[in-house]
Amino acid sequence: MPATLEQTPKSEKPPKKAFYRNLWVQVLIAVAIAILLGYVRPNTAVAMRPLGDAFIRLISMIITLVIFCTVVTGIAGMGNLRKVGRVGGKALLYFEVVTTVALIFGIAVGNLIPTGAGFNANPATLDAAAVSTYAGQAKAQSVTDFLLQMIPSTVVDAFARGSILSVVLVSLLFGFALSSMGAHCKPLVDVIEALTQAVFGVVNILMRFAPIGAFGAMAFTVGRYGLSSLGPLAKLILTFWATCTVFVLVVLGVIAWIAGFSIIKFLKYIKEEIVLVLSLSSSEPVLPMLMAKLEKLGCSKALVGLVMPTGYTFNTDGSCLYMAIAALFFAQATNTQLTLTQQLSIFAVATLTSKGASGVQGASFIALVGTLMVVPSIPVAGMALILGIDRFMSMFRAAVNVIGNGVATLVIARSEKELDAETLRQNLEPTY
Q: pLDDT, tens digit, for every residue of 80-117?
A: 667 777 888 898 899 999 999 999 999 999 889 888 77
Separation CA 227–CA 38 (nearest Å): 9
Is a pLDDT exceeding 80 seen at residue 75? no
Can you list the pairs that 77-84 forms with residues at least 24 positions away whose Cβ atoms lie under 8 Å? 77/189, 77/301, 77/302, 78/179, 78/300, 78/302, 79/179, 81/176, 81/179, 81/180, 83/302, 83/416, 84/172, 84/175, 84/176, 84/302, 84/306
Residue-wise pLDDT tens digits, 182-194: 777 778 878 888 8
Residue-wise pLDDT tens digits, 121-154: 666 555 455 455 554 555 544 556 656 767 777 7
Mean pLDDT value of segment 352-377: 62
In this structure, the dihedral spanned by the alpha carbons of residues 378, 138, 387 and 114, taken in order and rounded to 10 degrees, is: 30
Q: Is residue 320 part of a domain?
A: yes
Q: Is residue 48 part of a domain?
A: yes
The 10 Å Cβ neighbour count of residue 295 is 18
Total domains, the chain: 1
Q: Is residue 12 part of a domain?
A: no
Residues 6+ apart with CB under 8 A from 401: 283, 312, 315, 316, 317, 318, 319
Residue-wise pLDDT tens digits, 374-429: 666 666 666 666 766 777 788 888 899 999 999 999 999 998 888 877 878 877 87
Is a pLDDT exceeding 70 seen at residue 255? yes
Q: Is residue 70 part of a domain?
A: yes
Domain region containing 270 = 21-427
Question: Domain containing 413 — which CATH number?
Answer: 1.10.3860.10
